[in-house]
Amino acid sequence: MERWKGRVALVTGASVGIGAAVARALVQQGMRVVGCARNVDKIEKLAAECQSAGYSGTLIPYKCDLSNEEEILSMFSAIKTLHKGVDVCINNAGLAHNEPLLSGKTEGWRNMIDVNVLALSICTREAYKSMKERNVDDGHIININSMGGHRVVPSGDEHFYSATKYAVTALTEGIRQELREANTHIRATCISPGIVETEFAFRHHNSDPEKAAAVYESMKCLKAEDVASAVTFVLGAPPHVQIGDVQMRPVEQVS
């Protein structure tokens, strides 16, 4: 990770869970991290904690609604002005709504597509532009995917979400191929965790907190820090090593 000290990383969805853990880990490694979310109060608190801990990097909170392209473009413009550009793009933000295929609301489906697929694609495009403008040839795009992007579980409230994560699997490989066609050494990776103990299940099952709690009580789940460790492992790989997809899950998770 030594070569990343002082470089700029963007982490989307950095206020809680995996995003917060990744932001903290990168700041600890000496990176300048722009952490974005719709609400930055928790990121501001995390930034203060990182500073108090004496980490060598810095965390810069940025308020951004990733379902709004104009706000994403404005964020990249601000990063260019204040920090020259993005060297590492961690597309972490994602959400799930309990909207089955046969009875779900279009609004919920659209919101999942906007954040899980379109925002990831827009951030990737803009991060690549930033790297290309500055002749950065060793950048990295990391998509936080899901095991739901590799198999379909028999649960109607997961199916549309799973479809968006299958899209992330395809997008990551497409990005890798296009980066090769462009003759760059910029890398693209997706990290696909299984069940991670965060606020995710409680947001997904917001009308049934007992169901959400049961998800995490059924086994020893991954922690957000486990996923953050996977991110630093991928970033720390030698520049000639392309890690395509990291699949990780709790030992006790069946599927």
Catalytic residue IDs: 161
Measured CA angle at 133 (ends 31, 231), to 5 deg: 30
Distance (Å, whole) CA 67 – CA 11: 15
31 to 60, 108, 219: CA distances (angstroms): 11, 35, 34
CB < 8 Å & 24+ apart, contacts of 135-139: 136/85, 136/87, 136/186, 137/184, 137/185, 137/186, 138/3, 138/87, 138/185, 138/186, 138/239, 139/86, 139/87, 139/88, 139/89, 139/186, 139/187
